[in-house]
Amino acid sequence: MGLLDGVRSPADVRRMSLGQLRELAGEIRDLIVRTTARNGGHTAPSLGVVELTLALHYVYDTPNDQIVWDVGHQCYAHKIITGRRDRFDTLRTKGGISGFPKKAESEYDTLDTGHSGDSISVALGAAVGDRLRGSGRRSVAVIGDGSIVAGMAFEALNNAGCLKQDVVVALNDNEMSIGHSTGAMAGYLNRIITGKMYNRLRGDAWNLLGLLPEDLSGKSRVAARKLQEGLKNLVVPSILFEELGFRYVGPVDGHNLGELIETFGRVRQLHGPVLVHVVTRKGKGYDPAMRHPEVFHGTGPFDVDTGKPSSSGGPTFTGAFGTKMVELAGRDERVVAITAGMCLGTGLLSFRERFPNRLFDVGICEQHAVAFGAGLALAGMRPVVAVYSTFLARGLDQVIQDVCLQKLPVVLAVDRGGLVGEDGPTHHGVFDLSYLGMVPGLAIMAPMDEDELGAMLEFAIRYEEGPVAIRYPRGGSGSQLRPNPAPIQLGKAEVLRDGDQGCVLAAGYMSGVAVRAADILRARGLNATVVNSRFVKPLDQSLILSLAERYPVIVTVEENVLVGGFGAAVSGLVERSGMAARVVSYGLEDRFYEQGPRSWLLDQAGLSPEKLADRLQECFGRK
């Protein structure tokens, strides 16, 4: 029986000796590795913050004091010691505990998180609210060096320095966000580590001067401040955080429990905003994760002994995108790729290796990524911004103002469109067809399979009239390759099946599902027409209206919320035409979808081939 078996809450952690805490950290790491090897998950991020997690819960009176985890993918140790150790084997599974903080799971989870950059704003708001209500609760934001470059994080730092509120920012600096952190801030943090001598010298001198008689102490400290300004410019290249109004503490060894506990113990007594710079190693304690931290940022199941994936899997949309990008860049030197800290996740690793000067990783800054792409387009380049659907929402203003309003030929490669599976509601990309569809001048495509994605990307690079978005899901299509698909033409759909007893108009991945559903119906004696829309915007108006003349009911199918989605656009077109045809739309309900296998989620939403076939049979009047 290990120490971890006796931990039911942070109160149990606070009763442990330093030696016991070190032993506990090892047990926690072992549990994280064994569980993520079976279930998949964010292995490396959580391994890197085990000691930091223990120190925060040891020093702060959680859950009365609040810890706000930025992104939250590093929260596994936090979950284990806050009463979820017995359920940790259900991590990221259907009905199990989430891979991110979730308020419904525990009072220790302050906020449902999954995106970066918001922790400081939330912690600051909570601290101000507590002050106004007369509460003595303390708030801590834990943010990584990859996330702190987000514009929202800087906005919060600026406001916190102005308000002078009691709030602590724990900067987890592992030189990584998802891949290696990039940009000037990453370099700044690396340089600041070499300034540790300065910070200790400053603290020791300040305390020593305070021991002088009061009249001498004040004057000496004024002189010391002037000396400090010159000294820090010699030893520390920048004083960014202090100029923003924060007291800077660190760098602190993020794997030295004694130093962490002592540091946060002192910081808890300070007033005003404090930033504690904690230096950690992503993947700490598990050799494969330390050697390949980018790969182990988020993994599927893997072999514990070797770290190798348990399954190689089949073709994916992401893989097809990456392969096609390399091909297109080899033919056209204007093609450049932009990613917001997600080079591996968006399939651009080979592109980075082949064309390092044409791959721009801007860090976790989607707004900047889109506007940066606009600038590249102004200069005559053909920028492709590769971003997950759930994260593109943060750059919507730039899509509208800097790309579409300017009619610039920027390509948005929108990965993970639809239900993504085990990462749950913060990561499901189910809103993009709605929020992109409302923007004038933006062509929106959705491929049925991997080959069609390649053809659409080639079309988008050649398209000169304005911006294009290509939206595709996680994983592969599972569709058989079509020998002679019709070429991609602006606003033109493709008829995949021709039948006389019903009509289905599908978008993207759902086109393949609709074909399989139609095959099921055919075995039941019902022949339906299936159309691969290809373009969500502009719609193939002539084809849709001809179908409205031919069929009394048109069914649309999409992996997007129905509000403002593909079906709504088709329904509006038919209604404005004055035709009598009725449009029935199948898609995702107006709610947040839970975590679980992608296939299970689609079935629950009635979007599996079998469930769709049943719905179509009922809709077309054949019981």
pLDDT for the residue 207:
54
Name the β-bridge partners of 141. 68, 169
Q: How far is CA 344 from the centre of its chain?
A: 13
The CA distances from residue 123 to 59, 110, 141, 172, in Å, are 17, 9, 6, 16
Q: Buried b / exposed e across 571-594, counting CB within 10 Å, b at 16+?
A: bebbeeeebebebbbbbbeeeebe
pLDDT under 70: residue ranges of the chain:
1, 175-238, 312, 480-481, 622-623
Active site residue ranges: 282, 366, 394
* Selection from 182, 40, 77, 144 nearest residue 474 by Cα: 40
β-strand 411-415 against 443-445: which pairing, if any? Answer: unpaired
Q: What is the sign of the dihedral through the CA atoms of 435, 436, 439 and 440?
A: negative
pLDDT for the residue 192:
46
pLDDT for the residue 336:
98
Question: Quick check: 420 and 429 in contact, CB under 8 A?
Answer: yes
pLDDT for the residue 326:
97
What is the value of pTM for the model shown? Answer: 0.86
Question: Quick check: 317 and 476 in contact, CB under 8 A?
Answer: yes
Angstrom distance (rounded) from CA 144 to CA 116: 9
pLDDT for the residue 407:
97
The torsion defined by the Cα of 492, 498, 502 and 504, in degrees rounded to 10, comes to -40
* Selection from 240, 238, 208, 236 nearest residue 224 by Cα: 208
* Selection from 472, 514, 495, 526 nearest residue 609 by Cα: 514
pLDDT for the residue 563:
95
The radius of gyration of the chain's CA atoms, rounded to the nearest angstrom, is: 27
* 409 upstream amide cis, omega within 30 of 0: no
pLDDT for the residue 46:
93
Structure tokens at 84: 């979820």
Domains of the chain: 3-195+236-297 (3.40.50.970), 317-471 (3.40.50.970), 494-619 (3.40.50.920)
pLDDT for the residue 174:
84
Q: Which residue has the tokens 């940066």?
A: 372
